[in-house]
Chain A
Amino acid sequence: MEEKKQCKGCGGALPFLIGFVAMLVVGWVVFPKVIYSQKTQPVRFSHKIHQEQGMECANCHAFRDDGSYAGLPKNEKCQECHADVVGSDPAEKVYVEQYAQKNKEVPWLVYQYQPDNVFFSHKAHESFECKECHLEVGKMDTPPVYYENRLSGYSKQTMKMWQCERCHAENGVSNACHVCHK
């Protein structure tokens, strides 16, 4: 008789619900945190400070003459101002001493890093605002945390194929393989 009572106490759908809800929480709340490792940029680059100096985005993120996009600037560009320490920010000192003076490129983490088989033309997407695809870093003093997927190795912000395809479809642009792949 005792056993039956106990069974009633834990019986019914409760344990099922407990498991169900617990895994919902794990799946929706814990898993998305666990699957990404967090990384910080090698140098705390402040877009804000640079903007305050009156710099435009295109001063560093520019198109080359052949229409290709230079992406993140290289030492050559940074050293135009930072061959030596010019300010008081410790991050600048890190850059100058560990990279510029050692002639070593900064291994920036690229939030939108795409695989080799993707061909992406910034020029073709020039009419869009950068922030429609990129993190809006322009006014940030500290670069956002880089979330790297522990399984795939890509950044959390790397755009997925379905996103590209949806936008292409909505704008009447071909979704043929070679439009985006190489």
Chain B
Amino acid sequence: MGLDRRGFVKIVVGGVAGTLFTPVIWKSLDDVSIWSQNWPWIPRLNKGEVKSKAALSKLCPAGCAVKVKTVGGLPFAVVGNTANPLSKGGVCPVCAAGAQLMYSPARVKSPMKKVGEGKFEAIKWEDAEALLVEKLTALKGQNGKIAAINGDETGSAGEVLSGLLAGLGNSGCYMMPGEKFVAEKGVKLMGGSGQPGFDIAGSDLVLMIGADALDSWGTTVANQKAFAATRPTGGVATAKFVYAGPVLNHTAAVSDKFLPVPPTATAAFALGLANLLINAGAVCSAPDFAEYKALAAKYTAEEVEKATGLKAESMKELAALIKAAKAPLVIAGASFGQGAGALDFVAGASLNVLLGRVGGGMTLLPAAPKAVAGAGASDKDAGSFLADVSTGKAAPGVLLVYEANPAYALPQAGDMAKALGNIAFKVSFSTYMDETASLCDLILPAPHPFERYDDNLNPYGVAKPTYLAGKPVVQKPVADCKDPVDVLLGAAAKLGLSLGFDTYADVIKAKAKALGADFDALVAGGIWTGEAKGGSLNLGASALAKVAMPKADDKTLALAPMSNQAYGSATLATPPANLLAVRDTELSGKDLFVQMNAATAKKVGVAEGARVKLSAGKGELKARVHLNEGVAPGTVAVLLGFGRSAWDEFTKGKGDNVYKILTVSDEAGTGLKVWAGSTVTVAKV
């Protein structure tokens, strides 16, 4: 039987009609719609058991004791460790982003050797370590030829670094700036010794002069917990918090009182307060009280008002509050955690002496035992060292950089980066491709905190000796990295030196033992605390005699760098998970906003959104203006952490780096380099 066209059409029509009575079309449509829900480029979730493991997250400067949540063994989130008495279940915004930072695009994936300007080549670990040993062998025994910069003031790694250098006949182990360093000098000027501590939890009035204690000063999370404990939601506050500083920052936002004090006037403000308190009857038995009293008398509230614009009335009210308090505490520091002079510290701390709060509110921590026998003191600053390198006074052939970013985070950062160029062979131990690593000749990638052993002794601010330690959360690091301390110990062995340890874990175990702490309990999220030592301090009057009343200057503005912990630190650019938190009044596209109040803006002749150039020394910073009434008069506030020239697409080239325009000066009488009171000129562009 033949089939003609008409028959064929009938069959097709019948077929189509038949199809409509089958699931073919409907099922296909349904399946296709389900298929379209799973585009291959949409990432899939990980499956498996959810666990949480204790870790020491040293992503923030103070270090958070946290728990890392894993799914199928992969870390995905960070939560607080409620059992740890230091963090008490709190996590800072940087450590909160810790799991994602393991996969940061800025991570150094393997050892790298510089092969040209800005060009690197991945090499094998054995070659990298051999190169390190070769360079060290060549300069062994020549003092001044090998130097190290350490950016981790709490870890035992510093001891290994310093011990290695000592073994190689070198003494050049330098610290990146921090408040601990300055505070210890300050304590010396007051006739004492040791690292000062501050018992916020045990005080009923906390006056923070400059120190941004609830966002970036000291053990931030512990401070926040202590603050929170005094003000139950819906209840009555049991302590007062007062912030006196250049900017209405995060600390000031929740404080009962905010006093705008320019960063150039920290010490003068404290002495003004001392004067008011002495006039109100405060006395103390310190041997230099008479001298101190006479000195403070020069700082009347009216004089301070003239110099700073701070109303005398506000200071008097504050003095009355302090007088009424049973357990007042004064914490002085720089608003951005570094660069303040010892005199600023002494002026603030002297109030604690005057108020009889040394030993109670302000404590002194005993010297900690060392794990590495040959380790020296960590009291030399990296800024002065690099300044010497740039003038040729210091001429090391090899520089080891551990957890530090001097090319970005030292005042006059541009000059510092240039100074690094004078050193023939630079080695960076860094987890991330930061500004300094990108200038180094050899990069030895360090593990992320969740991939390594590390410890944390006496983070600045703690009232009692405190020790934390952590072990890896994951079995295998994401990148081809090695613990820097293990690398250094390995190199030492090849150089014929014995530091007494094979691995960093062994060093930490020895440290724990020396302190009388249980290593296993520590790495399980525990803590060791000791007792503060006794001892008294004087008022530091002879040092404070060098304080000068700040002078108002029509041409320049006081520069107040502002730290916002969420935006990262010297050694960490803003984590990808924190980018959202940056306001569009702080960064817009690639423009950084600097902040000043309307009166200051008028004086400078700029308006909201205006493009300006801030300059000081050889540095320049380009930005736009945002008006903020919370900035002290005559002050321009600039956020730290922007203007990265390395890192990743999320941070590189965004905004500008305030370190470039910080200028160093010598503090009168103490020989310290200071830059907290830097001034800048602001010009419209």
Given a CB threshold of 8 Å, the question of whether A touches B is answered with yes
Q: Could you list which residues of chain A lie within 8 angstroms of chain B, going by C-beta atoms?
A: 6-7, 9-11, 13-24, 26-28, 31-32, 35, 64, 66, 68, 70, 115-117, 149, 151-154
Task: Determine how close the nearest CB of chain A comes to the CB of B255; give it in whole angstroms.
Answer: 40
- A18 neighbours in B (Cβ, 8 Å): 11, 14
Is there contact, CB below 8 Å, between B18 and A35?
A: no
Residue contacts A-B, CB under 8 angstroms, 23 given: A6-B2, A7-B6, A10-B1, A15-B3, A15-B14, A17-B14, A19-B10, A19-B12, A19-B17, A20-B15, A20-B18, A22-B15, A23-B15, A23-B16, A26-B24, A27-B18, A31-B24, A32-B23, A66-B50, A151-B28, A151-B34, A152-B34, A153-B35
Does B256 belong to the interface (CB within 8 Å)? Answer: no
Q: A19 with B14: in contact, given A10-B4, A27-B19 (CB under 8 Å)?
A: yes
Does B44 belong to the interface (CB within 8 Å)? Answer: yes
A21 to B27, CA, bound (A): 19
Is there contact, CB below 8 Å, between B17 and A31?
A: no
Q: A16 with B21: in contact, given A35-B31, A151-B31 (CB under 8 Å)?
A: no
A166 to B1, CA, bound (A): 52
Is there contact, CB below 8 Å, between B35 and A19?
A: no
A23 to B1, CA, bound (A): 21
The 9 closest A-B pairs by CB, nearest first: A27-B22, A19-B14, A23-B18, A151-B31, A15-B10, A16-B14, A19-B15, A19-B11, A20-B14
A27 to B21, CA, bound (A): 8
Is there contact, CB below 8 Å, between A153 and B49?
A: no
Q: A28 with B35: in contact, given A9-B1, A16-B10 (CB under 8 Å)?
A: no
Does B45 belong to the interface (CB within 8 Å)? Answer: yes
Is there contact, CB below 8 Å, between A152 and B35?
A: yes
Does B130 belong to the interface (CB within 8 Å)? Answer: no
A70 to B50, CA, bound (A): 10
Is there contact, CB below 8 Å, between A24 and B49?
A: no
Task: Determine how close the nearest CB of chain B comes to the CB of A86; give it in whole angstroms.
Answer: 26
Q: A153 with B17: in contact, given A24-B22, A116-B44 (CB under 8 Å)?
A: no
Task: Determine how close the nearest CB of chain A comes to the CB of B29; give it in whole angstroms.
Answer: 10
Is there contact, CB below 8 Å, between B1 and A68?
A: no
Question: Counting chain B CB atoms within 10 Å of each CB, which of A21, A22, A24, A153 scores highest?
Answer: A24
Does B13 belong to the interface (CB within 8 Å)? Answer: yes
Q: A16 with B17: in contact, given A10-B1, A149-B31, A154-B34 (CB under 8 Å)?
A: yes
Question: Counting chain B CB atoms within 10 Å of each CB, which of A15, A24, A35, A70 scores highest?
Answer: A15
Does B37 belong to the interface (CB within 8 Å)? Answer: yes
Is there contact, CB below 8 Å, between A31 and B22?
A: yes
Does B32 belong to the interface (CB within 8 Å)? Answer: yes
A92 to B28, CA, bound (A): 39
Query: B27: which of A16, A31, A117 is its contact (CB, 8 Å)?
Result: A31
Is there contact, CB below 8 Å, between B12 and A151?
A: no
- B27 neighbours in A (Cβ, 8 Å): 31, 35
- B24 neighbours in A (Cβ, 8 Å): 23, 26-27, 31
Q: Could you list which residues of chain B lie within 8 angstroms of chain A, going by C-beta atoms?
A: 1-4, 6-8, 10-19, 21-24, 27-28, 30-32, 34-35, 37-38, 44-45, 49-50
Is there contact, CB below 8 Å, between A15 and B35?
A: no
Is there contact, CB below 8 Å, between A22 and B35?
A: no
Task: Determine how close the nearest CB of chain B comes to the CB of A129; give it in whole angstroms.
Answer: 24
Residue of A nearest to B44 (CB): A116
A88 to B330, CA, bound (A): 77
Is there contact, CB below 8 Å, between A152 and B1?
A: no
A149 to B30, CA, bound (A): 11
Task: Determine how close the nearest CB of chain B comes to the CB of A105; give it in whole angstroms.
Answer: 10
A28 to B20, CA, bound (A): 11
Residue of A nearest to B37 (CB): A115
- A19 neighbours in B (Cβ, 8 Å): 10-18
- A9 neighbours in B (Cβ, 8 Å): 1
A28 to B19, CA, bound (A): 9
Is there contact, CB below 8 Å, between B14 and A23?
A: yes
- A17 neighbours in B (Cβ, 8 Å): 14
Is there contact, CB below 8 Å, between A153 and B38?
A: yes
- B1 neighbours in A (Cβ, 8 Å): 9-10
Task: Determine how close the nearest CB of chain A comes to the CB of B562; give it in whole angstroms.
Answer: 38
Residue of A nearest to B25 (CB): A27
A66 to B24, CA, bound (A): 44
A31 to B12, CA, bound (A): 18
- B44 neighbours in A (Cβ, 8 Å): 116
Is there contact, CB below 8 Å, between A68 and B7?
A: no
- A66 neighbours in B (Cβ, 8 Å): 50
- A31 neighbours in B (Cβ, 8 Å): 22-24, 27
- A117 neighbours in B (Cβ, 8 Å): 37
Task: Determine how close the nearest CB of chain B comes to the CB of A42; give it in whole angstroms.
Answer: 17
Is there contact, CB below 8 Å, between B31 and A152?
A: yes
Q: A68 with B22: in contact, given A19-B10, A151-B32 (CB under 8 Å)?
A: no
A18 to B28, CA, bound (A): 23
Is there contact, CB below 8 Å, between B7 and A15?
A: yes
Task: Determine how close the nearest CB of chain B comes to the CB of A131; give it in whole angstroms.
Answer: 23
Residue of B nearest to A29 (CB): B22
Is there contact, CB below 8 Å, between A115 and B10?
A: no
Query: B3: which of A10, A24, A27, A70 is its contact (CB, 8 Å)?
Result: A10
Residue of B nearest to A71 (CB): B47
Residue of A nearest to B28 (CB): A151
Task: Determine how close the nearest CB of chain A comes to the CB of B2; give it in whole angstroms.
Answer: 7
Task: Determine how close the nearest CB of chain A comes to the CB of B203; give it in whole angstroms.
Answer: 40
Query: A10: which of B7, B16, B18 is its contact (CB, 8 Å)?
Result: B7
A14 to B8, CA, bound (A): 11
A23 to B17, CA, bound (A): 8
Query: A16: which of B2, B13, B28, B45 is its contact (CB, 8 Å)?
Result: B13
A151 to B21, CA, bound (A): 21
Task: Determine how close the nearest CB of chain B comes to the CB of A122; give it in whole angstroms.
Answer: 14
Residue of B nearest to A18 (CB): B11
Is there contact, CB below 8 Å, between B18 and A21?
A: yes
A9 to B2, CA, bound (A): 10
A152 to B39, CA, bound (A): 11
A70 to B2, CA, bound (A): 64
Question: Counting chain B CB atoms within 10 Å of each CB, which of A16, A28, A70 scores highest?
Answer: A16
Task: Determine how close the nearest CB of chain A comes to the CB of B24; give it in whole angstroms.
Answer: 5
A115 to B33, CA, bound (A): 13
- B7 neighbours in A (Cβ, 8 Å): 10-11, 15
A9 to B7, CA, bound (A): 10
Task: Determine how close the nearest CB of chain A comes to the CB of B503; give it in whole angstroms.
Answer: 25
A31 to B24, CA, bound (A): 7
A11 to B17, CA, bound (A): 18
A26 to B1, CA, bound (A): 23
Question: Counting chain B CB atoms within 10 Å of each CB, which of A14, A18, A19, A116 scores highest?
Answer: A19
A21 to B18, CA, bound (A): 6
Question: Counting chain B CB atoms within 10 Å of each CB, which of A14, A23, A116, A149 scores highest?
Answer: A23
Apart from A19-B17, A64-B49, what 6 extra A-B contacts exist at CB < 8 Å?
A7-B4, A20-B18, A23-B18, A26-B24, A31-B22, A151-B32
Task: Determine how close the nearest CB of chain B comes to the CB of A182; give it in whole angstroms.
Answer: 9
- B45 neighbours in A (Cβ, 8 Å): 116
A115 to B19, CA, bound (A): 30
Residue of A nearest to B45 (CB): A116
Task: Determine how close the nearest CB of chain A comes to the CB of B26; give it in whole angstroms.
Answer: 10
A153 to B6, CA, bound (A): 40
A68 to B14, CA, bound (A): 53
Residue of A nearest to B15 (CB): A19
Task: Determine how close the nearest CB of chain A comes to the CB of B45; give it in whole angstroms.
Answer: 5
Task: Determine how close the nearest CB of chain B comes to the CB of A5; give it in whole angstroms.
Answer: 12
